[in-house]
A and B are shown apart, each in its own frame.
Chain A
Amino acid sequence: MINSKEIESLHVESDELYQVLSIEGDSLINLPQNMDSHLMLEMYKKMVSCREFDEKAMKLQRQGRLGTYASFKGQEASQVGSSIALEFSDWMFPTYRDHAATHTHGQKWSTIFLYWMGHIDGSICPEGKKILPPSVPIATQLLHAVGTAWADKLKGEENVSIVYFGDGATSEGDFHEALNFSGVFQTPTVFFCQNNQFAISVPFEKQSASKTIKQRAHAYDMKGVRIDGNDIFAVYLTVKEAVDRARNGGGPTLIEAVTTRYGSHTTADDSKKYRNQEKIEKDWPTTQDPIPRLEKYLRKNHLLDKETEDEMKREIKKEIDEALSIAENYPKATTKQMFEHVYAVNTATIKKQEEEFLHLLGEER
């Protein structure tokens, strides 16, 4: 069993990446018992499913069936590996690039499609879940995850709050305020940074003079770990340890998962303008793509055969096609809905504006 001391000695004192699964698909440590074949296959299935969704979404965007879309391709191990370590009722605060995480934690693909289709219902999470809408402003959501965790601590509830953000977010004041508050009030929060090395066009070396993001944890007297974000075993083990620690009253952790944003910032961006995209596309499949890495491990250990994989892929394709169909056949948002939920009880002014506009629209609404 990997213990916290081992991680600490490797990664709090150094800039090295904590890695468990080599690029060749070999485990570098004796895996703990909770990492059984069932969990590994689930990790694999989720990552393949997320990749399928992402590639589908890119195509749909090109066809004009989705609005601007932010691809998470390349970050599947970080997102699936972290969210699979959570319990059902843990809080999740994602950004707009974290749909692999939200889906793994229980968000429906159909809802995620709706979000990118610009539907007003695209941020509703399944009953009983605590998955908040993607934060569009950068780093603001970190503080929300401090607050929910703080409330759980005060109420004696055992939930953990996990928050996702990128390397760019670590330049924002809210990043520092959140780490500081979390440290002061010892909230059960896991700060999960996906350092995908670019904030739209600006590389991390221009973002900060800090060598790593992890080292910022030191300033707030908090555990900080730097891991290979393309290694789903390293991600899972690190996050599992952090959520367990948080749940047991051990306070927050800052995790820096170093990964790669394979594509452009969004479909409205062209990364060729600011980085060597050709090189990334050439090198990434063999050195950084997290999916073949796990696949190699599973095959070497006879946990995945072609039949199982084909069946899995068929299932995934069906699931995503169904989700798309649900989203595309979802009732169109009405003008009336546009006016709903501004307040618990809308003001007289809003009611009047709604009434007048609906009257003007007449039958056309």
Chain B
Amino acid sequence: MTQEKLTMLQAINQTLDQVLETKEEVMLLGEDIGKNGGVFRATEGLFEKYGGDRVVDTPLAESGIIGSSIGLALNGKIPIVEIQFLAFIYPGFEQLVSHAARMRYRTRGQFSVPFVIRTPYGAGIRGPELHSESVESFFVQTPGLKVVAPSTPHDAKGLLISAIEDPDPVIFLEDTKLYRAFKEEVPQEMYRIPIGKANVVKEGEDLSIIAWGGMVREAMKAADKLEKSKGWKCEVIDLRSISPLDEETIIHSVKKTGRAMVVHEAHKTGGLGGEITAIINENALIYLKAPVKRVAGFDIPVPSFTLEDQYLPNALRIEQGINETITF
């Protein structure tokens, strides 16, 4: 298999190029995605290659983009929408939750909305206000939507292809701090990583750490460090999909380690960490040697960028979480 070292952005760009090439129904829609190639350059070169009917610079209106994409999807197109930042999606929220997510259910399968909403999310790149949110819970609580958050260039490609081929609407969350953070081998071929299946990125016996997106790297760093300094072997689970959740992998791991910690940069209250804790309690309580730990974003607005490192779950807090849980 031909491989190439790519950043996550390059992997996404390559994937979009390949699906535009191979599926004539695919259309890209978004603000500044045409000539400009997107504010992060995820669609660079695609407008020139496929033209304005397939790579569409839309008017600046998120409800308009998502709402008209619902119509496009109803009528046989496969829209891949770029919402410039996750915190800009709110004008289109009603379209997502009241229509895209419910169309199949309301029509008993007669009509459906197979589309993908790609959107950068998360803090850590010194963005302006409202460019750094992690509000994935809004969507996870909506039946009918799927939510995916890759943590590596390789996963981004495989998950994006699965999202595009999925018969239901998928929100595809791209952590901005991963976009250019590192390169890894990405096969040139089209391949799929199943939605709804977690990935155990590091096996261990002492504690299960559950994370997604950019927090997987942070969890890995802390786990590696404490393995060296204290000999603790943490198992790190990258959820890959946060809706649907791979409960089986979580439960299986916690039964083995007897301890669990969730790391997410979304606000703690109402965040997915609470849901994962409940799943563990419902299914593996008697295996637990310590309370399930949550290391999350604080319950404050994501602050201006000079403070964003303090907002984000950092090495200090993750290591302390591991320490507390293992020595409980």
23 contacts between A and B (CB under 8 A): A120-B108, A124-B110, A133-B107, A141-B99, A142-B67, A143-B70, A144-B68, A144-B70, A145-B71, A147-B68, A147-B72, A150-B72, A161-B71, A173-B63, A177-B61, A177-B64, A180-B59, A181-B58, A181-B64, A343-B104, A343-B167, A347-B244, A348-B247
Indicate whether A136 sits within 8 Å of B98 (C-beta atoms), given known contacts A147-B70, A340-B108, A344-B167. Answer: yes
9-residue interface stretch from B73-81, B185-193, B311-319:
B73-81
Verify if A341 is at the interface (C-beta below 8 Å from B). Answer: yes
9-residue interface stretch from A151-159, A231-239, A261-269:
A151-159
Indicate whether A349 sits within 8 Å of B244 (C-beta atoms), given known contacts A121-B108, A133-B106. Answer: yes
Chain B interface size band reads: 35 or more
Q: Which residues of B contact A132 (CB under 8 A)?
A: 74, 107, 111
| B104 in contact with A148 (CB, 8 Å) | no
Q: Which residues of B contact A303 (CB under 8 A)?
A: none
Task: Spell out A's residues near B (CB within 8 Å).
Answer: 91, 120-121, 123-125, 132-133, 135-137, 140-152, 154-155, 161, 173-174, 177-178, 180-181, 184, 340-344, 347-350
CA gap between A350 and B143 in the complex, in Å: 9
Verify if B43 is at the interface (C-beta below 8 Å from A). Answer: no
CB distance from B227 to the nearest CB of A (A): 32
**Chain A contact residues, majority secondary structure:** helix
CA gap between A125 and B98 in the complex, in Å: 19
CA gap between A347 and B59 in the complex, in Å: 35
Enumerate the 3 nearest inter-chain pairs by beta-carbon distance, A residue then B residue, closest first: A147-B71, A143-B67, A177-B64
CB distance from A133 to the nearest CB of B (A): 5
Indicate whether A343 sits within 8 Å of B144 (C-beta atoms), given known contacts A143-B70, A181-B61. Answer: yes
| B247 in contact with A174 (CB, 8 Å) | no
Interface string of B89-126 (1 = CB under 8 A from A): 00100110011000011111111100000000000000
CA gap between A340 and B111 in the complex, in Å: 14
Indicate whether A342 sits within 8 Å of B63 (C-beta atoms), given known contacts A147-B68, A349-B244. Answer: no
Q: Which residues of A contact B248 (CB under 8 A)?
A: 348
Indicate whether A151 sits within 8 Å of B107 (C-beta atoms), given known contacts A140-B95, A347-B196. Answer: no
Contact of B59 among A91, A124, A184 (CB under 8 A): A184
Verify if B222 is at the interface (C-beta below 8 Å from A). Answer: no
